[in-house]
Structure 1
Amino acid sequence: MTGAASAGEPVGVRRLLVIGTGSVTAAHLPFWAGWLKGGHPGTQVRYVLTEAATRFVTREALTAIGGCEVLADRWPDEPEPTARHVDLAQWPDAVVVLPATLDYLARLAAGLGDSPSVLALQCTRAAIALAPALPPGGAESPAYAEHTARLRTRRNVVVVPPHPGRSTSSGRLEAWAPASFPEVLAAADGLRAALGAPGPDGRAGPEQEHASARHLTEDP
C-alpha cells in the first residue's frame, strides 16, 4: 500500500466524491484521505459513509485527516436547503466507491434509491468507479457476475476488479480486496475524460482515454 501511495499521478478531477461501504477495508480510508489531501491539493473531496462502514471507520477520523465534509449515508432528520441526494449527484465530476460491498453493488445494479448516495449515483452524470470488496467465494458468485454485468452497461460506470486478499475470518488468501485507491482514482479520471467532462483547464478530455479506463473492467 505504501508503494502505491507514493505515486501521486496528476488527475483532472476537480470535485471527487468518495463513498465508503461496510467492508473492513473501509478502515484504510483515513490513510487515503491523507494521501489525497497531500498529493492532490487541487481536488476538492467529500466523503459519504454508509452505516455499515462506520463499524470500521469514523466520520470524525475522516474529517480530521481529510479536512473536508463527511456525510452519513442516511436521510437527514432535519430539513436541508438542498436535497442531499440531489447535491451528491450534481456536485462531483467523479465518484469513487471504495470499498464497494456486494450489497451496495446489488442495490445500485437493481436501480434502487434507498439511501442518498445510492439515489445520487442512479441520477448523476459524473464518472463512477466501483472498487468491489468481496468475502470468500464472492467473486465467483452468480450474483456478483449479474450485478457487475448490469453496471458495466452504464456509460458512466467502470468496475475496477478486486484482487486476492486474506480473509479476516479464516486467515486464508480466499477473500477479494479492493483495488488500490490510486488505481481506482485513475480509472474514474480516465472515464471522466472520456465522457467529455471538463478538466481543470475547462477543456473536455479526449475520447481515447475511455479505453484506458475500460481496460480495468475484466473480472478475476
Structure 2
Amino acid sequence: MDAEVLGDLGNCCVLVAAHHDADDVIAEFLWVGLWHGVYPSRLACVQARLDVTKPCISPYGVYDGAEVHLHITGSIGAALVPWWIHWFRHINRNVVVNASISRSASRFVTKDAIVGLCNGQVWEDEWDDAKSEDWRQGRTGDSDCIVVFPASLDTVMRLAQGRSDSPALMMMQVTHLPIILCEALPVINSVIEHWRNILLERPIVTTAPPVVGTKATDRDSQETGFNLPGAIEMANELISATREGDCGE
C-alpha cells in the first residue's frame, strides 16, 4: 500500500493505528477494516495473531481456486481494497490476483497501488488500457471467478440491464465464470430491488453475505455487502459447483 493510499485513508478517518504486541504490522492493516466495520473484531485479532505467530494459516479466507479477478468500482469502500488484497494474498500466497479498476473507482484508489499489491494483470476499465483481450472471452488470465469488490449501485444496475460499454462489463456479460457481488448499495427501493432480482436470475451471479458496517457519512450502522471473506466462501461454493457441472448458463 503506497503513501498516497495510506494518506487518503487517514484523511477519510478510516485508518486507525494499532497499538498491540508483536503483531502490530499485520494488526495495523486489520484495524483499517475494523474501523470501517466490515471485519468482525474478535476474529480479526485472532487471525492477525495466527498469521504472525504460526506457519499454518487458518482456513478462514482460504480460496479454492488458482486465480481470481477483482473488479473495483466507484464506492468509497474502494479506498480499502488495497488492504483487503494484502490480506487475501497473505493467506493465499500462491493465488494469482488480477484486477480491473473502473473510472469512478480511481477517485478512491490508484492503479499504482493495485499494481503494487497484485501479482496478475491489472488494468483500468477503459478500452485503451485493457490491452489484453482476455476480457472478450469473459475472463482475465485463468481466473476461476470474478469478484466485484465493491459493487456500486451503478455497476449493479448496469449489469442487470445488460450494459457492455466497458471491457469489464463486457467481460461479465459474456462470462461463464461465477460472479460474486460485494454490494455497496446506499438504499434498497422497489426499482433497485427489481433490477437486482433480474441480475440474480443468472445462475452464475450471487452476492456476498451482508455484514454490519459503519457508514462513512454519519457513522451510523448499516448492513453492507462489502465483505471479501464472505465473497470467498461464496466463490468456493460456486467454483465447486462449476467443476461438478451444477452451475452454468
TM-score relative to the length of structure 1: 0.78
Tell me, yes or no, if the aligned pair for 2:61 and 2:88 is still in contact at 8 Å. no
Q: How many angstroms does 1:177 deviate by?
A: 2.8
Deviation larger for 58-67 or 101-110: 58-67
Task: Specify the alignment match of 1:83 in structure 2.
Answer: 133
Q: Deviations over 1:55-74 (max 9, x none)?
A: 11111111212344321011
Q: How many angstroms does 1:88 deviate by?
A: 5.0
- 2:118 corresponds to 1:71: no
What is the Cα-based RMSD across aligned positions, in Å?
A: 2.4
- 2:159 corresponds to 1:112: no
Which segments of 5 or more consecutive residues in structure 1 lack a partner in the other structure?
Answer: 197-203, 211-220
Q: How many angstroms does 1:9 deviate by?
A: 4.1
C-alpha distance 150-65 of structure 1, shift in aligned 2 (>3 A): same
Q: How many angstroms does 1:159 deviate by?
A: 1.7
Among residues 84, 100, 109, which one is paired with 1:32 in the alignment? 84
Task: Specify the alignment match of 2:202 in structure 1.
Answer: 154
Task: Specify the alignment match of 1:55 in structure 2.
Answer: 107
**Using the alignment, how far apart are the partners of 1:34 and 1:15 within structure 2?**
15
Q: Deviations over 1:183-208 (max 9, x none)?
A: 11110121111122xxxxxxx48x5x
- Tell me the SS of whatever aligns to 2:123: strand
C-alpha distance 70-194 of structure 1, shift in aligned 2 (>3 A): same
The structure with more radius of gyration: 2
Letter in 1 for 2:237: G
- 2:241 corresponds to 1:194: yes
Tell me, yes or no, if the aligned pair for 1:4 and 1:180 is still in contact at 8 Å. no
**Using the alignment, how far apart are the partners of 1:46 and 1:90 within structure 2?**
7
Q: How many angstroms does 1:77 deviate by?
A: 6.3
- 2:227 corresponds to 1:177: no
Letter in 2 for 1:193: S
Tell me, yes or no, if the aligned pair for 1:19 and 1:98 is still in contact at 8 Å. yes
C-alpha distance 90-30 of structure 1, shift in aligned 2 (>3 A): closer
Q: How does 1:39-50 map to 2 (within 5 A)?
A: 39-50=91-102
**Using the alignment, how far apart are the partners of 1:195 and 1:121 within structure 2?**
16
Tell me, yes or no, if the aligned pair for 1:14 and 1:42 is still in contact at 8 Å. yes
Tell me, yes or no, if the aligned pair for 1:127 and 1:156 is still in contact at 8 Å. yes
Task: Specify the alignment match of 2:144 in structure 1.
Answer: 93
**Using the alignment, how far apart are the partners of 2:72 and 2:63 within structure 1?**
21
Which segments of 5 or more consecutive residues in structure 2 lack a partner in the other structure?
Answer: 1-38, 48-57
Q: How many angstroms does 1:176 deviate by?
A: 4.3
**Using the alignment, how far apart are the partners of 1:39 and 1:90 within structure 2?**
22
Q: Deviations over 1:24-71 (max 9, x none)?
A: 111111111111222112211101110111111111111212344321
Percent identical residues: 27
Q: Deviations over 1:81-125 (max 9, x none)?
A: x53531553632111001101100000000110111111001011
